[in-house]
Structure 1
């Protein structure tokens, strides 16, 4: 991997050794092909806003149809909207963005994906699980030009069993685009989950192949989501990353970025689905 960012300098590898590799999880097979989605994820909340931004917000250097995605490390990204709403994914105690987010999302499979002590200055803290075990958590939040919603998923428990609705896939609708963060995904997706997620423009995907979903299953999820842009996360070595990229090269283009940030828009998404590797830990 080329490049790194100082904010992700914490010893992530050591923190991620949370225990022995979990037993293989029974995969939920999703029917194929995935039907086209027309209503779930068009980003209408964001797109129907005025295209004229106040001068005070133009410092973000994002046009009305752009989103900036910055890889902070592990499974944490900073996502910024044209109206300067900042979102941090899998917000935790070890890897945090350099600015205070307006919205944070969390998943609880491991401590590197959540915190019990979020910064009190964060207005919106969205946990991907409910306090009542086995009950799905539901979020549908609108802040300025951003909509955040979630699709609950199951996780393995430490005994090798299944904890229903233990985590969530978070979907961010910004600037007429939908960006999905898969979190600590442990299984392939049912047709209902694919329907609930809807049409995706960019997906942030864990590619370790062991603590989360196995490699075959994750490739299946990528084929089902059909996102034009795929950004890997949650890998612990160059070997692990390359193992995923080698599989993806069979059907997808692969590109390495020199910087941890990328600005995307509907008009600049790749015509052929592409994996974009952002430098980071």
Structure 2
């Protein structure tokens, strides 16, 4: 009897497992694929935040005719406003206020002018460009219509010392555009950095001539990235920086602090565009 009871029990367990409905996988959020990276295999899995519906790919692949607004607020802080209503403040230090708290802020810690440890609690996503416990920062998330990721670089520290992965280049993929912010870049990039960054359409670049990198070193980075629209930041623009670029680059000074850009409006020739206030 005991053996027969055991056999019936095992058969019942098998039948339950065999005919129990499978989980519905269609409701899971798909991992996005970066539209900007040159090498797709370098792409880790991403975290989705606040999506109304899962995208087919990254938001960067959506309506390419939509405009992104970029406003220079001061130092290394730009306010990026997306067609979907996401607002992002780069290298946020709390000094440069916006009309409403940004949805996302990014930070770097090379100097106190690039971060704050007491951000407005109303900011939903605070992304540090440095990691904790010696690990590099890893940001890979989707917020609204924007996909945000980072590529870490080393920074100078102390007496000619170096801190690994103390800075992040943040990349924002939205409305078909690849927008990159170099942060407080201290060293020239190597091939692995360029592979992780991939294509950039808009590049925010520090031009102080020494506090980050010298004009010649920074100009090599800008030339290699070959973005269509280059937005100087961090310190007043120097003639030494502009002089590094020949006839392959156009130069223009804006009459206001804001530029609106879409894939269709990108200049065909790389343009160094100096927003008012730089």
Structure 1 length-normalised TM: 0.77
- Looking at structure 2, the residues matched to 189 and 153 of structure 1 have their Cα atoms a distance apart, in angstroms, of 8
Distance 1:176 1:48, change over 3 A: closer
Q: Secondary structure at the match of 1:138?
A: coil
Alignment partners' CA distance in 2, 1:149 and 1:118 = 20
Residue 97 of structure 1 and its aligned partner are, at CA, apart by: 2.8
Corresponding residue of 1:227: 227
Unaligned runs of 5+ in 1: 1-35, 52-62
Distance in 2, matches of 1:90 and 1:96, equals: 13
Residue 45, structure 1, aligned to residue 36, structure 2: no
2:58 aligned counterpart, secondary structure = helix
In structure 1, the residue matched to 2:260 is 263
Structure 2 residue aligned with 1:111: 112
| Residue pairs, 1:121-270, within 5 angstroms | 121-133=122-134, 135-235=135-235, 237=236, 240-270=237-267
CA distance in 1, matches of 2:99, 2:186: 29
The 1:191–1:170 alpha-carbon spacing in structure 2 relative to 1, beyond 3 Å, is: same
- Return the index of the structure with the highest Cα Rg: 2
Partner residue in 2 for 1:85: 86
Q: Which runs of 4+ in 1 moved over 4 A?
A: 38-41
Alpha-carbon distance in 1 for matches of 2:110, 2:225: 22
Q: CA deviation at 1:223?
A: 1.2
Contact 2:69 2:82 in 1 (8 A): yes
Q: How far does residue 171 in structure 1 lie from its aligned partner after superposition?
A: 0.2
Q: Tell me the secondary structure at the aligned position of residue 244 of structure 2.
A: helix
Scaled by the length of structure 2, the TM-score of the pair is 0.78
1:8-62 Cα shifts (integer Å, max 9, x gaps): xxxxxxxxxxxxxxxxxxxxxxxxxxxx927489x9521455x5xxxxxxxxxxx
Q: State how far apart, in whole Å, the 2-side matches of 1:249 and 1:258 are.
A: 23
Q: How far apart, CA to CA, are the structure 2 residues paired with 1:98 and 1:77?
A: 14
Contact 2:65 2:263 in 1 (8 A): no
Write the deviation string for residues 42-83 of structure 1: whole angstroms up to 9, x where unpaired: x9521455x5xxxxxxxxxxx952111000010000001101
Alpha carbons 1:38, 1:199 under 8 Å: kept? no
Matched positions, count: 229
Structure 1 residues 123-154: Cα deviation after superposition (integer angstroms, max 9, x where no partner): 10000001213x21100010110011000000
Which position in structure 2 is the counterpart of 1:56?
Answer: none
Q: Which runs of 5+ in 2 are unaligned?
A: 1-36, 44-55
Partner in structure 2 of residue 3 of structure 1: none
Higher relative contact order (CA 8 A, sep 6+): 1
RMSD: 2.0
Q: Distance in 1 between matches of 2:198 and 2:71?
A: 23
Alpha carbons 1:76, 1:96 under 8 Å: kept: no
Instruction: Report how far residue 258 of structure 1 moved.
Output: 0.4
Q: Deviations over 1:145-174 (max 9, x none)?
A: 001100000000022111000010000001
